[in-house]
Amino acid sequence: MTAVPLIGREARRLTRNPVLWLVPVVVAVTSALDEASDGRNATYWYGTIFTAVAFFGPIFVLFAANLVASAARRARAEEILAVTPTAETRRTWAMCLGIALPLCAVGAVAAGAMALVDAFAPIAATDAQTAGELAQLPFILAGAGLLGVLAARRLRFAGGVVIAFVLATLGGLVPFGKFAAGLWWMWWSTATPFEGRAAVPGEPWLHVVYLAGLCACAAVAAVYRDRRRLLLVGAPTLVATLAVGWLQLQLP
């Protein structure tokens, strides 16, 4: 089984990508510049962790994952890798898992940290997130990484990832009318610690499933290049994801 060492190698490549390490830098800089009118209390740190993982995180992760996934194409190393016995499908699966798993872990750690802050210094009900909302964080990060892989596989030209970013953002904004909600950048989350209202109305746990479905759709679309297998695996995944997406909006 080449899968385990290969997944480990892809995970290592992602964690060594300098773009990913811009997240803590940017969060540190913005926190330092932030006036923090109410002081740097528990609510402040709660919101900072959330912003790092749910806002800055996905943006930088998308670009970092894309750089990792497109490295062979950019370096013109594809031909060397293509003639190894590990088929492209398996290599891409390993890449998807190598990128998604550590990001899920980071999201889970962040969610755990937020829960811990809330446990020691209870956050006001308008700012606090439910368990279902916290559970979305791993999938938000993993989804951004998988979108980066998908862009590397499908938009095989310089700037493809920027197009993916713009399309994904617009695609999220338009159906959910986020501009009106005043939280346009949070298109990927039902949760909001701001203004006491959900950015996406719906049931948070079902939204978790919906986000997991989006992750699966991105991975399947990245892995399967031939139309038959893409249709065979992708169509049921997409239908199930859309069904959950629709269902979560029907529930309060």
Partner 1 sequence: MSTVLVNGVTKSFGRTTALDGVDLEAGPGVTGLLGPNGAGKTTLLRMIATVLAPDRGTVTLLGRDPSRPEDRTRVRQRLGYLPQEAGFHRGFTVFEFVDYVAILKEMTDRRPRHDEVRRVIALAGLEPVSGKRIRALSGGMRRRVGLAQALLGDPDLLVLDEPTVGLDPEQRLRFREMISYAGEGRTVVLSSHQTEDITALCARIAVIHQGRTRFVGTPAELTAQAAGRVWTDTQRAPAALAAWRTGDGTFRNVGDPPAGADLIPPTLEDAYLLLVGASEREVAAA
How many residues sit in the footprint of partner 1 (CB under 8 A)? Answer: 23
Among 26, 59, 72, 233, binds partner 1 (CB under 8 A): 72
Contact status: 86 vs partner 1 (CB under 8 A): yes
- Number of neighbouring beta carbons within 10 Å of residue 27: 18
Q: Which two tokens stand for residue 151?
A: 């862009």
Q: How far apart are the first and last CA of the chain?
A: 45
Contact status: 6 vs partner 1 (CB under 8 A): yes
Among 82, 131, 170, 232, binds partner 1 (CB under 8 A): 82
Contact status: 226 vs partner 1 (CB under 8 A): no
Contact status: 153 vs partner 1 (CB under 8 A): no
How far apart CA 61 and CA 174 sit, in angstroms, is: 23
Residue 191 φ/ψ, nearest 5 degrees: -85, 155
With H, G, I as helix, E, B as strand and everything else as coil, classify residue 86: coil
How far apart CA 36 and CA 48 sit, in angstroms, is: 11
Stretch in the footprint of partner 1 (CB under 8 A) among 4-12, 22-30, 108-116, 140-148: 4-12
Nearer to partner 1 by Cβ, of 72 and 155: the residue is 72
Nearer to partner 1 by Cβ, of 21 and 246: the residue is 21
Contact status: 81 vs partner 1 (CB under 8 A): yes
Residue labelled with tokens 């209202």: 197
Contact status: 77 vs partner 1 (CB under 8 A): yes
Q: Which residues of 65-92 are buried (b: 16+ CB within 10 A; e: fewer)?
A: bbbbbbebeeeeeeeeeeeeeeeeeebb
Nearer to partner 1 by Cβ, of 14 and 200: the residue is 14
Contact status: 83 vs partner 1 (CB under 8 A): yes
Residue 197 φ/ψ, nearest 5 degrees: -135, 150
Contact status: 158 vs partner 1 (CB under 8 A): no
Residues 12-31 that bind partner 1 (CB under 8 A): 16
Q: Which two tokens stand for residue 8?
A: 């480990």
Binding residues for partner 1, per CB under 8 A?
Answer: 1-2, 4-6, 9, 16, 71-72, 75-87, 91
